[in-house]
Amino acid sequence: MLEQMVSAEKEPNKSARLFARAQELIPGGVNSPVRAFRGVGGTPLFIESAQGPFITDVDGRRYIDYVGSWGPMILGHADPEIVAALQAVAAKGTSFGAPNQLEIELAEEITAAVPSIEMVRMVNSGTEATMSAIRLARGVTSRDKLIKFEGCYHGHADSLLVKAGSGVATLGLPDSPGVPASLAQHTLTVPFNDATAVEDVFKQHDDIAAVIVEPVVGNMGCVPPQEGFLQTLRVLTAQNGALLICDEVMTGFRVARGGAQALYDITPDITCLGKIIGGGLPVGAYGGSRELMRNIAPTGPIYQAGTLSGNPLAMTAGLITLRRLKDETVYAELERRSAQLCDGLSSIAADAGVKTITNRVGSMWTSFFTEAPVTNWETANRSDRELYGKFFHAMLDEGVYLAPSQFEAAFVSIAHTEEIIQQTLTAARNAFQALT
């Protein structure tokens, strides 16, 4: 078992006490559903601090963290350069509600790295980015309908909470409670990796504005695209006068510097970004060609705004992160360590007689507790949730923090050294033995 820090706090299990207190004030005791541990059981950990590959809870227990704030912490937690820069920038003001130079510099970094983005608009979350991208697509095509894929999550905007995977799947909620039927009917869902189904939908509808896709799904666990799938989406949208929206909130600068679109050689019309481009601070962005983006106000008629958009704190953390990721060795090292981790987990599970399928693209991965390949929501949903929950808690006991849901991706950062990977595999070996 990994060495764990001993807390000076006299109360045992302070997380449980805080959770009870939170439930009186916050719905479910959490500000985002997956944090409630409903997918794995037990009481959620309340985190007090984080550094490098570690998080430490309020009871003083330290864990190797593979959640990474759901993806943005590619440099590790509390990176010293980012922290120092944020302290300096915060002293000058945290938000101006006016233009600043930093947002131009971050836009330059993004457009240089992602060729499909010639102009970019900063927003404050991935939900804002996808919502705005869809409004843009509907505005320029004068069409209403949207194709999305079962199990893909694109934020909590009304038209997107239809077969949305992630927290919705974890909690077993209806597809879209609170969403008017008149709005939901404009969202058409098909299985991920099923190009034929997309083609059939286009044959049935001539008013489709866009197809929105996570090029590598992260919100039913990590599910890669099958060969040719994304390319077919590109062809079908172009043939039918619809736009292709790549939701790279999770994959942008994660699976490659140019995102999944660089990895799979496709050119979307609109790209949505988030997470890494804010270096751990709240951020989002959407972008595309100059011609397309000039339809956004104030140069065009399609309205979108945000008081905190482009704020200096998020721009600073994002700039430092993206500039560090220019180092060509970073992604090679992330690939090597992630492969070492995932290959090790698969081998250890097999040795223990536990059937798992581990999907990985770059430093993004999920171990599904199932024996069949996971290629879409139907196959992901066959996973043994109960067994995953037991493994999750066994890993917690060993000092490793995984996603508290079978249907979320995990992430490796550059702070996860080879030694940390080996410690994780040792913990996994003990955890699988505990299961069997």
The residues that are catalytic are 153, 247, 275
Q: In 3D, which of 151, 214, 225, 161 has the Cα closest to residue 187? A: 161
Q: How far apart, in whole angstroms, are the C-alpha atoms of residue 182 and residue 164? A: 18
In 163-266, which residue ranges form alpha helices assigned H by DSSP? 166-171, 181-184, 195-204, 229-239, 260-263
**b/e per residue 179-207 (b: at least 16 CB within 10 A):** beeeeeebbbbbbbbbbebbbebbeeeee
**b/e per residue 99-109 (b: at least 16 CB within 10 A):** ebebbebbbeb
Q: Report the Cα 135 to chain-centroid distance in Å.
A: 21
Angle at 289 between CA 286 and CA 294, to 5 degrees: 80
Query: Which tokens hold the place of 29?
Result: 């005791």
E-strand stretches of 134-227? 145-149, 187-190, 208-213
Contact 138, 154 (CB under 8 A): no
Q: How far apart, in whole angstroms, are the C-alpha atoms of residue 142 and residue 131? A: 16
